Structure 1
Amino acid sequence: MNRILKTTVIAAAVMSVAGVAQARDQIRIVGSSTVYPFASYVTEEFGALTNYPTPVIESTGSGG
């Protein structure tokens, strides 16, 4: 009985957190300035060749 109760409580906790995430209309990528030029080119090509929106790329540099 105690095992079933513990499993039920854990399952309820996991399911309550699962609904927090929301869908977004656009992909956002934040990363190193080293790969920014390449990533920017790839995202522009992706946007031009697919029916999906072009992802947003941000460069953080070495300062974060």
Structure 2
Amino acid sequence: GKGLGKAVMLEGLRRLKATGMQTAIVYSVSSNEASRKLYESVGFEVYNRSYDYVKRV
């Protein structure tokens, strides 16, 4: 609500870049709309969708 998450994310990305990192990857569950909006707001793009399988035995 107040932009704290975005500020923390941007600072983290800045620090990664300062160490020479060229790529950052984050993982999130598809139902987490808030995190998706945050990641997209700082420039992340979806590049892979994974599937988890479960079977009761």
Report the structure, 1 or 2, having the larger helix content.
1
**Max Rg structure:** 1
- For the criterion TM > 0.5, the same-fold answer is no
Report the structure, 1 or 2, having the larger strand content.
1
Q: Give the TM-score category using the shorter length.
A: 0.3 to 0.5
